[in-house]
Chains A and B, each alone.
Chain A
């Protein structure tokens, strides 16, 4: 465990020395003595982990100094040590936020020792929590999300605006475009970032369980409800609730969701008590909800309630060079996490990535890069190491905009590859002259 810095504020030099000696028996405690309120309030001191404060100092009263120290070092536990065994003083100090109150008697040092050990454990947990929080903040910082393409810059701009308020955000986009990542970025850059982010994938939960999952249930509400359980709305209180695949929600449950959003209150399944909830809602779907409304599968009132700030995440194929930026980032992270040497993408591999249509979007890119990293022996990932999961379909060759001539070339290329460059066979199947194909090959319009 790391060193714990303890400031002992005690005007009695004898007692201060005694405490310092006793606390320093644990070599992980770094103890510093201050003989007056003035000494501790002077500038330039590091933040301590624990303070012990003598209640009766000659230059400042204990209550005032407690308050000044709390303002200066927020959340540092302050243990007040006093010669007076007065309950009213103890209560007053504890109400003001003192961590504990000890009377100077024969047991002082043992009690102090026990309290400090307890704090040490909490400090360890607090450090761990702060480290994890910092990692999460860094991970979802808008500036750290990869995307230089104009379309992504516009998305980031909207997300920044969305994170400043509690407006409901509806995220749409093809599968694998990063809808949950966008929702987390909105949450972790908002005022609610230190409160829970709770994600629910509506499509992944059986229809009959969703109500209980979202709103909780009381004991005995249904067979199997052996105890009372909070739902996701309650779990996300003061934080953000992310409802993924909202388009899959059963229409009968949609009215209950609408009520929860409008009234900001819920009732557990099988319960009567109305529970207030303060939740910011972000929804996502790969469906076109307005079409679902027209088809009668989604309530119109809920649709408008959820629309809020609409953010449409672009498919990866429309993000140009972002493909390479993301690929390089995935490659670096994967190699580092797996203790592999650094690898890079050859020009041919980069070209291959840029020419693919990415039906699985960013998720697919990550999988392909990780596989390529595993398959590559050396430090350069060549074009052959990049293997797409989808077998090439004829529709793939026309995903990019082009002229009829471009499409003709690509279609003939596709069939030549399929029939082992058998020009006669391809000419027959496409009902085109053999000489036309030979001419295109000769003019380098087609790569064979």
Chain B
């Protein structure tokens, strides 16, 4: 069995997150504009597992709340969603910096 601690793998995962998350962010913003709570809930559900793997705990709990709200097709919590987007963008910037530093 190989060792699980693998820097190359961690970098690959960060890069993959940085590459795929903007699409999810776009979906989140669109769902807010179009008032589609279910779409928002589905996107939160998808992004949640990636956040969990990266251990960004505060975003995991926010994503869970927004997912639950969206699945109930209640009103979108715009304030919380915007806060989520803001923190996520900050995380992405930090990751990009780390990745650039490694290069």
- B75 close to chain A: CB less than 8 A: no
- Chain B nearest CB, measured from A24 CB (Å): 8
- A384 close to chain B: CB less than 8 A: no
- B16 close to chain A: CB less than 8 A: yes
- B82 close to chain A: CB less than 8 A: no
Q: Do residues B20 and A14 form an inter-chain contact, with CB atoms below 8 A?
A: yes
Please, what's the 1-or-0 string for A50-61, where 1 marks a CB less than 8 Å from any CB in chain B? 000000100000
Pick from B4, B42, B50: contact of A15, CB below 8 A: B50
Query: Which residues of the other chain, B, contact A106 by a CB distance below 8 angstroms?
Result: 52
**Main secondary structure on B side of the interface with A:** helix
Measured between alpha carbons, how far is A14 from B48 in the docked complex, in Å? 11
Query: Which residues of the other chain, A, contact B46 by a CB distance below 8 angstroms?
Result: 11-12, 83
Minimal Cβ-Cβ distance residue in B for A21: B9
Q: Do residues B1 and A15 form an inter-chain contact, with CB atoms below 8 A?
A: no
Pick from A12, A21, A22: contact of B49, CB below 8 A: A12
- A291 close to chain B: CB less than 8 A: no
- Chain A nearest CB, measured from B64 CB (Å): 10
Query: Which residues of the other chain, B, contact A17 by a CB distance below 8 angstroms?
Result: 12-13, 16
Q: Do residues B13 and A83 form an inter-chain contact, with CB atoms below 8 A?
A: no
Query: Which residues of the other chain, A, contact B50 by a CB distance below 8 angstroms?
Result: 12, 14-15
Minimal Cβ-Cβ distance residue in B for A81: B49
Q: Do residues B4 and A104 form an inter-chain contact, with CB atoms below 8 A?
A: no
- A399 close to chain B: CB less than 8 A: no
Q: Do residues A104 and B49 form an inter-chain contact, with CB atoms below 8 A?
A: yes
- Chain B nearest CB, measured from A298 CB (Å): 66
The contact sample of 13 A-B pairs, CB cut-off 8 A, is A12-B49, A14-B50, A15-B50, A17-B12, A21-B6, A21-B13, A22-B4, A27-B1, A83-B45, A84-B45, A104-B49, A104-B52, A106-B52
Q: Do residues B20 and A13 form an inter-chain contact, with CB atoms below 8 A?
A: yes
- Chain A nearest CB, measured from B26 CB (Å): 16
Query: Which residues of the other chain, B, contact A14 by a CB distance below 8 angstroms?
Result: 13, 16-17, 20, 49-50, 53
- A295 close to chain B: CB less than 8 A: no
Q: Do residues B1 and A25 form an inter-chain contact, with CB atoms below 8 A?
A: yes
Please, what's the 1-or-0 string for A88-128, where 1 marks a CB less than 8 Å from any CB in chain B? 00000000000000001110000000000000000000000
Query: Which residues of the other chain, A, contact B42 by a CB distance below 8 angstroms?
Result: 56
Q: Which B residues between 26 and 52 are near A, CB-CB below 8 angstroms?
A: 42, 45-46, 48-50, 52
Q: Which B residues between 1 and 28 are near A, CB-CB below 8 angstroms?
A: 1-2, 4, 6, 9, 12-13, 16-17, 20
Measured between alpha carbons, how far is A204 from B2 in the docked complex, in Å? 57
Measured between alpha carbons, how far is A14 from B51 in the docked complex, in Å? 10
Number of A-B contacts (CB under 8 A): 44
- A18 close to chain B: CB less than 8 A: yes
Query: Which residues of the other chain, A, contact B13 by a CB distance below 8 angstroms?
Result: 14, 17-18, 21
Query: Which residues of the other chain, B, contact A13 by a CB distance below 8 angstroms?
Result: 16, 20
Measured between alpha carbons, how far is A106 from B6 in the docked complex, in Å? 19
- Which residues of B pack against A, CB within 8 Å? 1-2, 4, 6, 9, 12-13, 16-17, 20, 42, 45-46, 48-50, 52-53
- Which residues of A pack against B, CB within 8 Å? 11-15, 17-18, 21-22, 24-27, 56, 83-84, 104-106
Q: Do residues A15 and B45 form an inter-chain contact, with CB atoms below 8 A?
A: no
Minimal Cβ-Cβ distance residue in A for B45: A83
Q: Do residues B2 and A15 form an inter-chain contact, with CB atoms below 8 A?
A: no
- Chain A nearest CB, measured from B66 CB (Å): 13
Query: Which residues of the other chain, B, contact A104 by a CB distance below 8 angstroms?
Result: 48-49, 52
Minimal Cβ-Cβ distance residue in B for A17: B16
Measured between alpha carbons, how far is A26 from B2 in the docked complex, in Å? 7
Pick from A11, A27, A83: contact of B2, CB below 8 A: A27
Measured between alpha carbons, how far is A13 from B50 in the docked complex, in Å? 10
Measured between alpha carbons, how far is A13 from B1 in the docked complex, in Å? 24
Query: Which residues of the other chain, B, contact A84 by a CB distance below 8 angstroms?
Result: 45
Query: Which residues of the other chain, B, contact A18 by a CB distance below 8 angstroms?
Result: 13, 53
- Chain B nearest CB, measured from A342 CB (Å): 45
Query: Which residues of the other chain, B, contact A24 by a CB distance below 8 angstroms?
Result: 2
Q: Do residues A105 and B52 form an inter-chain contact, with CB atoms below 8 A?
A: yes
Pick from A11, A25, A83: contact of B48, CB below 8 A: A83
Measured between alpha carbons, how far is A15 from B17 in the docked complex, in Å? 10
Q: Do residues A83 and B49 form an inter-chain contact, with CB atoms below 8 A?
A: yes
Query: Which residues of the other chain, B, contact A105 by a CB distance below 8 angstroms?
Result: 52
Measured between alpha carbons, how far is A24 from B3 in the docked complex, in Å? 11
Measured between alpha carbons, how far is A52 from B15 in the docked complex, in Å? 24
Minimal Cβ-Cβ distance residue in B for A104: B49
- Chain B nearest CB, measured from A40 CB (Å): 19
Measured between alpha carbons, how far is A428 from B16 in the docked complex, in Å? 109
Measured between alpha carbons, how far is A83 from B52 in the docked complex, in Å? 11
Query: Which residues of the other chain, B, contact A56 by a CB distance below 8 angstroms?
Result: 42, 45
Pick from A15, A26, A27, A83: contact of B53, CB below 8 A: A15
